[in-house]
Amino acid sequence: MINKSALVIILMVILLASCVNDHLNVTSSKCVNSNLALTISATTNVSSCGATDGSITVSATGGVESYSFSINGGVNQSTSTFSNLAAGSYTLSVKDANGCVATQTATVNNAQSTLNVMVSTTASTGCPTVNGTLTISASGGTAPYQYKINSQAYQSSNTFTGLSAGTYSVGVLDASNCPDFSSVAILLGSPSYSVDVQPILASACYSCHNGNQLPTLSTYSDVKANASTISTQVTTKAMPLVGSLTQQQIDLINCWVNGGAPNN
């Protein structure tokens, strides 16, 4: 038996849950086509290593006024300048009257330092595994350097692997303990035709589709022309007619086809 007060509590929980859901739905649907945007208008670097006199000023456009601003997910404020900042990489965001949010990253560095961080990246295909990479290098300051991404600890290796697409904060720390920061995006890429896809076709399909059986799949342009049929055939496991592909190979082919079947 459920008594009256238990029923009331259950009802309240259900009401509350639907209320939260409603609220979230309203917010997200209003924000789908929002043109709210945030710009970094100015940054002031710290005056010396370890100083906390940096600042960032942002400005917002679009959306529905009024705006409020926050830094690194902190409390929202109405003023658009953040001061007393240490050197670092920051995420700034603006929230408008509809609760829509736009973000930007900015870095505060040391005005005195010659230390300069540089980054190169390779895209993550995101399928079948997350595999973006990021390599940090540095010049100036005092070697040796240490490297980090986001809020991880500094390390001596400058290579970071297994990264998903997104924006990363990168930092280098020199021997006198002074940092320099930057931010970089890892793009969402496609698997490679020559490295990933072609070898699968060569081993599982060429025995039949190399001229004898139509469609011929020997060259990139053959494969590109039949990309969506190939995708259907391997997904439904109709092909290969003899043998089989692993799920990972099927995912990889689909991922490459969905990415526009590039000749990469």
Task: Return residues touching ligand HEC (CB under 6 A).
Answer: 201, 204-205, 207-209, 213, 215, 226, 229-230, 233-234, 239-242, 245
Entry field: residues in the chain = 264
Give bridge partners of residue 44 from the DSSP assignment: 55
Q: CB-wise, 84 or 246, nearer to ligand HEC?
A: 246
Q: CA-to-CA distance for 220 and 263, rounded, in angstroms? A: 7
| Contact indicator for 245, 200 with CB cutoff of 8 Å | yes
Give the separation between CA 84 and CA 55, rounded to whole angstroms: 6
3-state helix, strand, coil in the chain (%, to 5): 25, 35, 40
Least gap, CB of 243 to ligand HEC (angstroms)? 6
Tell me the closest approach of the beta carbon of residue 264 to ligand HEC, in angstroms: 19
The smaller minimum CB distance to ligand HEC, of residues 47 and 213, is found at 213
Query: Based on CB atoms, which residue is closest to ligand HEC, 195 or 242?
Result: 242
* Min dist. Cβ of residue 198 to ligand HEC (A): 11
Shortest gap between Cβ of 241 and ligand HEC (angstroms)? 4
Tell me whether residue 132 or residue 240 sits nearer to ligand HEC (CB atom).
Answer: 240
Closer to ligand HEC by Cβ: residue 186 or 234: 234
User: Do residues 193 and 264 touch, judged by C-beta distance below 8 A?
Assistant: yes
**Shortest distance, CB of residue 242 to ligand HEC, whole angstroms?**
4
Per-position b or e across 222-256, b if 16+ CB within 10 A of its CB: bbeebbeebbebbeeeebbeeeebeeebbbbbbbb
